[in-house]
Amino acid sequence: MTRIDDTFARLKSDGKKAFVAYVMAGDPDYDRSLEIVKGLPGAGVDIIEMGLPFTDPMADGPTIQMAGQRALAGGQTLERTLQMARDFREGDTTTPIVMMGYYNPIYSRGVDRFLADAKEAGIDGLIVVDLPPEEDDELCIPAQRAGLNFIRLATPTTDDKRLPKVLQNTSGFVYYVSITGITGAAEARADTVAPEVARIKAKTDLPVIVGFGVRSPESSAAIAGIADGVVVGSAIVGEIAKGRSASEVLAVVKSLADGAHSV
């Protein structure tokens, strides 16, 4: 059982939905990013998605691309992202952290070394968007052997033939991408997402969490109402980009979390 598994078991027992917040590690700089990350649980965040900045983020829209550029310009690296997890763990040993990013930095570090370091730093799960199921031996299976969840994305184009392959070695939860395209591109609609969530849940016992295109407390509530939880990224990262203080960013996060927890 990972912290992710424990969190979903607790939420289910309490009759609650999960609120997952994405932030780019190191945006706008290390200290302010860490301050925000440390404040997320108090703002109602059940699971933290910590973005690993990368130079070619093909799944991300402009908001998160720019966050990655700011972080890289500030000297954020894979090592500093692991250190951010360590620093967070000094004050919080229960909130799950999922590292989300691309395979190149992990490959460059070496899979075995990365997994050992991630586990030691307090990372609980991985979302690596450019590794398909056909490459599970590369990272997914070693990660699970190391005690980390490997979370897979399902999308509107994941048909019934493809879905079993996507679910095959997934653990922790399934991340359903509510729109076709990049992050922040469109608003998620509960009426179109609901049948897709039901289709996935018919094939797995894992929680199904919906992300991409959730921007307001109202849409957070609507999406959480038809899934096991909701992920918000671009709306939070956009507040950081405006130069908001940590307390201002966390107030926005709380409003989004309250939306998800209201159903």
pTM: 0.96
165 contacts 138 by C-beta, under 8 angstroms = no
Catalytic residue among 5, 27, 46, 60: 60
Catalytic pick among 5, 27, 49, 124 = 49
Where do the domains of the chain lie, and which CATH numbers do they carry? Answer: 3-261 (3.20.20.70)
Annotated active-site residue 112? The verdict is no
Query: How do residues 125-135 score in pLDDT, each as one tens digit?
Result: 999 999 999 99
Q: Does 49 participate in catalysis according to the annotation?
A: yes
Task: Please list the alpha-helical segments (H only) found in the chain.
Answer: 3-14, 30-39, 62-73, 78-89, 103-109, 111-121, 140-145, 163-167, 190-201, 217-224, 234-241, 246-261
Residue 111 has what pLDDT?
98
- Which residue ranges in the chain fall short of pLDDT 50? none
